[in-house]
Amino acid sequence: MIPAAFDYERPGTLADAVDLLQRHGDGAKLLAGGHSLLPMMKLRLAVPELLIDLSAIDGLTGIRDAGSQIAIGALTTHRDVNSSDVIANGCPVLAEAAGMIGDMQVRNRGTIGGSLAHAEPHADLPAVLVALEGEVEVQGPAGTRTIAASDLFVDYLTTAISADEIITEVRVPKLRQAAYVKFSRRMQDWAVVGVAAALDGGSARIAITGCGATPFRARAAEAAWNGSNAAEAAALAADGLEPPGDTAASPDYRRHLARVLTGRALEAAAAR
């Protein structure tokens, strides 16, 4: 299908982009890589009156060492996240997860900020960010603020980012003992189920994607982890999980996948 008619703006500064969001309200949509928004526009699931293209704004791309964290500009592509030596050395799970997203075209154009702001329930990066306890920085009319990953995803395709705010940076801790594994029907498909596990100081954080509107923290499995009992902890990964059923998998099969993939993610993380 062809998208409905829309106006287009390409502001040169972040302040101008925020001003456009304020003035146009719900009628405006931000354009980063476009791989989530444009398909929705073609299906008329999204009918924005105005597209605000962020590509001309300086400072929204790039990866830097920020001490105990790695800072990534919101418009940094999945390809650049996947190929970054800074990320590979400091937080390899993020690089690996970025390399699993879609196909080459999606990775070359899609952005880390766009993926997180879209909050697709089957996406890879939200679960990884939650397991890592990362954060995003956003800018709006009142200035900048930081949103923890645990607070970022609030419902289906819905985040804690206000309508007049823009993600400017994503930050993750330097953590090598983390892994992400997923099951999908084809390599480039969304995850039917994906599991991110991060091990930090003897504790585990486990986030599951594809089983609800937002990433699910497998608290029972986290509590059971003792540093070497991946199978026993993974057996509890589906406790409290109420996944949907669809043409890809039944609820019971998603629970099964959650347990299996949690075991694999814990083993992979512990092996680092």
Q: Give the pLDDT confidence score for residue 57 in this predicted structure.
A: 97
Residues 182 and 243 both lie in one domain: yes
pLDDT in tens, 161-197: 999 999 999 999 999 999 999 999 887 889 999 999 9
Closest to 180 (Cα-Cα) out of 202, 208, 152 = 208
Residues 28 and 44 both lie in one domain: yes
Domain contains 232: yes
User: Is residue 215 classed as helix, strand or coil in its secondary structure?
Assistant: coil
> Rounded distance, CA 40 to CA 226, Å?
44
User: Is residue 130 classed as helix, strand or coil in its secondary structure?
Assistant: helix
Residues 184 and 119 both lie in one domain: no
Total domains present in the chain: 3
Residues 155 and 250 both lie in one domain: no
Domain contains 1: no
Residues 169 and 184 both lie in one domain: no
Residues 157 and 251 both lie in one domain: no
Q: Which residues of the chain have pLDDT under 50?
A: none
Residues 159 and 118 both lie in one domain: yes
Report which residue type is found at 127: A
Domain contains 201: yes
Q: What is the CATH number of the domain that holds 195?
A: 3.30.390.50
Residues 145 and 197 both lie in one domain: no
Q: What is the CATH number of the domain that holds 151?
A: 3.30.465.10
Q: What is the DSSP string of 45-97?
A: S---SEEEE-TT-TTSS-EEEETTEEEEETT-BHHHHHH-HHHHHH-HHHHHH
Domain contains 58: no
Residues 164 and 75 both lie in one domain: yes
Q: Give the pLDDT confidence score for residue 187 in this predicted structure.
A: 79
Q: Give the pLDDT confidence score for residue 271 in this predicted structure.
A: 96
Domain contains 69: yes
Q: Give the pLDDT confidence score for residue 252 in this predicted structure.
A: 98
CA 163 to chain centre: 18
Q: Give the pLDDT confidence score for residue 23 in this predicted structure.
A: 94
Vertex 42: Cα angle to 111 and 20 (nearest 5): 60
Last residue of a domain, one of 173, 208, 224: 173
Q: Give the pLDDT confidence score for residue 38 in this predicted structure.
A: 86
Q: Domain containing 46: what range?
A: 7-53
Residues 223 and 196 both lie in one domain: yes
> Rounded distance, CA 21 to CA 6, Å?
15
Q: Give the pLDDT confidence score for residue 186 in this predicted structure.
A: 85
